[in-house]
Amino acid sequence: MKQVVFGNTGAKVSEMCLGTMMFGKRTEEAEAGRILSYALDHGVTFLDTAAMYGEGVCEEMLGRLLAGRRNKFFLATKVHRGVGYADISGSLDESLRRLRTECVDLYMIHWPRVGMNPLEIMRALNDVVKGGKARFVGCCNYPAWLLEHHNAIARANGWALLACNQIPYNPVERGVELEVLPQAFATGVAITVYRPLLEGILAGKYDPDKPMPSDSRAEWDDRVQKWMKKYDAGIRFLLALAREKRVSPSAVAVAWLRGSPAVTCPIIGASRFGQIEEGVKAFEFTLAAAEREGISNAFDADLREDAGGKFPELRRALDIVAR
């Protein structure tokens, strides 16, 4: 697995980040242990978790599984409750206890909140770095202006900067191509990407010519059927290209992400062993620039205001920052 520099931090991480959200929920501990060992054996050392995953169960499981090998991984977790000073500090203390470690490598604000106080947030994040509880700090789901606003405060005070932004990105959710990716690329902010396979759609989980499986995510997540219908041409194009290249659809979707110079690490979740095998293998495949452009054109989803999760409303919001 290729190692990449994590933004401006100087730290090196595996290009693939292993998402552990299903650990303790859909994935039993023995299976999670096999996944973790396979990842390590194949050079995947970047782990993403959060206190909210299973209300701490995921972190507790990781704490047990990382015993004796914690220093082999770059471990990231996120603030659980609010975004006040006490929330940021207290949430990390709880995570450290569950993870059985004295320090995480990356600690992130999970979501922007209405009325958040960037000065208080950056002071709290700087203090966890000064206190040796986190090596680096970052954020998730921040529009470009909000990230830059937080980092301007940090620079003015000589505090730790937000080193990364974790966002949804794929050939459908491309709203982040407006401002978010250019800002990160220009300023050296690392970009980690969740939902790279669009809830399994880009992994070929759903056949466009067959009814949705009754026991699938599509049964309760109406986005799946909406996306399948709206982006049918793009999905078929990607699946056909995968067949032509004799690789998995996941490999094509991941290669599309890796073709962006602004993307640092796609996050690949694994709830069963076969998914970590397929995830690792996906990073062996690359797309030519023309092939990547062909996928982009087939989906016809660039810079649409209905894409990119909550970014359309967040980039316009005037009530996020407290006055």
Instruction: Evaluate whether 49 touches 88 at the Cβ level (below 8 Å).
Output: no
Measured CA to CA, the distance from residue 304 to residue 171 in angstroms comes to: 11
Q: Which residues contact 211 (CB under 8 A, 6 or more apart)?
A: none
- Looking at residue 232, what DSSP letter applies? H
Q: Residue 116 is which amino acid?
A: M
Query: Tokens 């789901």 identify what position?
Result: 141
Instruction: Evaluate whether 270 touches 16 at the Cβ level (below 8 Å).
Output: no
Pairing of strands 190-194, 162-168: parallel
Quote the strand ranges of 101-244, DSSP E. 104-109, 134-140, 162-168, 190-194
| Angle 27-32-37 from CA coordinates, rounded to 5° | 160
- 53 is an active site residue: yes
Which whole-number Å values give the CA distances from 45 to 3, 31, 36, in the listed order?
Answer: 9, 18, 9
Neighbours of 246 (CB within 10 A): 8
Pairing of strands 3-5, 12-14: antiparallel
Burial class (CB in 10 A: 0-12, 13-18, 19+), 138: buried
Which listed residue (38, 53, 107, 169) is catalytic?
Answer: 53
Residues marked active site are found at 53
